[in-house]
Amino acid sequence: MIAIVDCKISNIRSVARAFEHIGQEAIVTSRQEDIEAAERIVLPGVGSFQQGMENLRRHNLVDILHREVVVGKKPLLGICLGMQLLAETGHENGPQAGLGFIKGECVRLAPPAATLKLPHMGWNDVAVCRDHPLLAGLSAAPCFYFCHSYHVVCPESDVLATCEYGANFTSVLVRGNIFAVQFHPEKSFDDGFQLLKNFSSQQQCL
């Protein structure tokens, strides 16, 4: 059973429907019991870093996630803002603490040329840096849907795939049992469904 954390921010329904589509049982929940009982956890989100952290705190989700993911080593997939919240610090409207489950900071995408608008919105190519079961079976030129203005800067050893928008940024990171993607796999058709399938069957990676 997969628990999709409902921190009351943005479109969770699409994430749930995507797991249904690939035949994986998933529930949308903010209840501690459900997160404890789940084998894997998904942390989605769209919106501001500040709002995301406030919502996690308000719904008493920070400690339970720390217990299950950092201590308990349950596989976790962070999506978009969910990826960003995993960082140690976010810099949207001033520095603020993130969950700190991974090393790194969340910063604004590099100031674009006049032709590069923000948010980075649309379908972009993802460049895979190394083989990993999370990215197995993707198309020859994997392309995913992005919708963001911030990104996570993390140690190079954690970077699994990049994407180019003005400069290269990390689009997929892996740190032990923690996986995070800047794009929306639930909106990215075949490549997205494949990634979610891979996460659903992913052995814990230590």
Partner 1 sequence: MPLKIRLIPVLLFADYSAVTTIRFGERRKAGSPVASVKLYSRQQVDELIFLDLNASSEGRGPLFDIIEDVIEESFMPLTVGGGITTLSDIENLLKRGADKVSINSGAYRNPALVRQASQAFGSQCIVVSVDVKKNGSGQDEVFVNSGTTGTGEEPLAYCRRQEDAGAGEILLTAIDHQGLRNGYNLELARMVAENVAIPTIINGGAGNPRHFVEAATEGRAPAIAASSIFQHTRHSPVEGRACLKEYGINAR
Least distance from C-beta 125 to partner 1, angstroms?
Answer: 5
- The three-state (H, E, C) secondary structure of the chain, written as one string: CEEEECCCCCCCHHHHHHHHHCCCCEEEECCHHHHHHCCEEEECCCCCHHHHHHHHHHCCCHHHHHHHHHHCCCCEEEECHHHHHCCCEECCCCCEECCCCCCCEEEECCCCCCCCCCCEEEEEEEEECCCCHHHCCCCCCCEEEEEECEEEECCHHHEEEEEEECEEEEEEEEECCEEEECCEHHHCHHHHHHHHHHHHHCCCCC
Q: Which residues bind partner 1 (CB under 8 A)?
A: 9-14, 17-18, 21, 46-48, 51, 81, 112, 114-125, 143, 145-149, 163-165, 184, 186-187, 189-190
Assess whether 163 carries a catalytic annotation. Answer: no
Catalytic residue among 7, 80, 106, 143: 80
Least distance from C-beta 71 to partner 1, angstroms?
Answer: 31
Assess whether 66 carries a catalytic annotation. Answer: no
Task: Decide whether 145 or 199 has the Cβ nearer to partner 1.
Answer: 145
Task: Decide whether 62 or 118 has the Cβ nearer to partner 1.
Answer: 118
Catalytic residue among 120, 148, 151, 184: 184
Would you state the structure tokens that stand for residue 174, as one six-digit string? 């892996």
Task: Decide whether 74 or 187 has the Cβ nearer to partner 1.
Answer: 187
Least distance from C-beta 23 to partner 1, angstroms?
Answer: 15
Residues 179 and 75: beta-carbon distance below 8 Å? yes
Least distance from C-beta 147 to partner 1, angstroms?
Answer: 5
Assess whether 80 carries a catalytic annotation. Answer: yes
Question: For residues 115 and 148, what is the distance between their CA atoms, to the nearest angstrom?
Answer: 16
Task: Decide whether 69 or 172 has the Cβ nearer to partner 1.
Answer: 172
Least distance from C-beta 184 to partner 1, angstroms?
Answer: 8
Catalytic residue numbers read 80, 184, 186
